[in-house]
Amino acid sequence: MKKTLVCISVFLLFQAKAQIDPVKYPTFTNVEDAMNSSKTVYSMSFREKGLFNLPPEISKLNSLFFLNIMANKFEKMDPVLFTLEELEILNVNENSIKYIPDEIGKLRKLTTFSMNLNGLTSINPNVSKLQHLKAVHFDANNLNVFPEALMEIPALEEINLQGNQISFIADGLHKIRNLKFLNLSGNQINDLGNLSFPPNLKYLELQQNAIVKLPENIFKTRNLEFLNVSDNHIKEISPGIKGLKKVVSMNLANNNIKEIPVEISQLKNLKTLILTGNPIKKSTIEKLRTMMLETQIYF
């Protein structure tokens, strides 16, 4: 799991770099070079430098909008970090940080905030002050509830909380109205109650939890295109599934599903349906294939 998440972290770093013109915004890896540069410094990376603290001189780089301090030895977020109020992209992956201090609220221009593979047990409520956030990555920490601070940031488009210990999600997820991608895989969720989902959600990953039943509201997520609920304990699928009119891919593998409602045949955009590892009769699968000629069904 951790190895996989490290790969994901690296991928996300490359994604962040892809947003930066390397000619116009060269990434400095040495604070001395940055301080001596005749040009304005916008981007810095201290990846894998063995750092416990940031160089204090970095506070003078008041135009910095990209900072990568991934894979160091930070046990807390260095106070000098919060002087960089122009930061838009912050990568603190693969350190040993256990909490986010109140000062995080000073970084009001952040759009991407990554703290994968740390030791976070909760998310500071002041994160809700980061109203320009588009993407957060808190994978592989020690969170046991969904961070309610994120529910106060309607601009968020992507939330990654894979590989935590989350077992509870308060009712309020729907308030993140712009959310398109939500990854809650590899947690300890067993009951979603009647949780409502954001109206613009397109990608929902809930695999590798302990979910017994999908809430009816999940089938009211009209813009959902990709749904993965594999490797849970789901016993049945509601006829309400017909509400997922835009769904393209659905992974129901490795559950305890015995029957599939015929209403699933109304999903005309469904191209891939994965049912492997369920106690479904072969005759049921053949019937589905007859009704869903445009869908590739894996069993």
Can you give the pLDDT at residue 2? 47
Supply angle C-alpha 293, 223, 287, rounded to 5.
Answer: 20
Can you give the pLDDT at residue 20? 65
Residue with the two structure tokens 């559950």 = 255
Amino acid making up residue 184: L
> Quick one: 35 exposed, middle or buried, by C-beta within 10 A (0-12, 13-18, 19+)?
middle
> Quick one: 80 exposed, middle or buried, by C-beta within 10 A (0-12, 13-18, 19+)?
middle
Q: What is the distance between the alpha carbons of residues 77 and 98, in angstroms, rounded to a whole number?
A: 9
Q: Express each pLDDT in 41-52 by its tens digit.
A: 999 999 999 999
Q: What is the distance between the alpha carbons of residues 86 and 138, in angstroms, rounded to a whole number?
A: 22
Distance separating the N- and C-terminal Cα atoms of the chain? 26
Q: Can you tell me whether residue 137 is helix, strand or coil?
A: strand
CB 84, CB 63: distance < 8 Å: no
For the chain, which ranges sit under pLDDT 50? 1-18
Q: What is the distance between the alpha carbons of residues 21 and 33, in angstroms, rounded to a whole number?
A: 19
Can you give the pLDDT at residue 19? 57
Q: For 2-259, give the CATH class.
A: alpha beta
Q: What is the distance between the alpha carbons of residues 157 and 180, in angstroms, rounded to a whole number?
A: 5
Can you give the pLDDT at residue 21? 73
Q: Long-range contacts made by residues 151-155, C-beta under 8 angstroms, separation at least 24?
A: 151/175, 151/176, 152/128, 153/127, 153/128, 154/178, 155/131
> Quick one: 241 exposed, middle or buried, by C-beta within 10 A (0-12, 13-18, 19+)?
buried
Q: Express each pLDDT in 191-250 by its tens digit.
A: 999 999 999 999 999 999 999 999 999 999 999 999 999 999 999 999 999 999 999 999
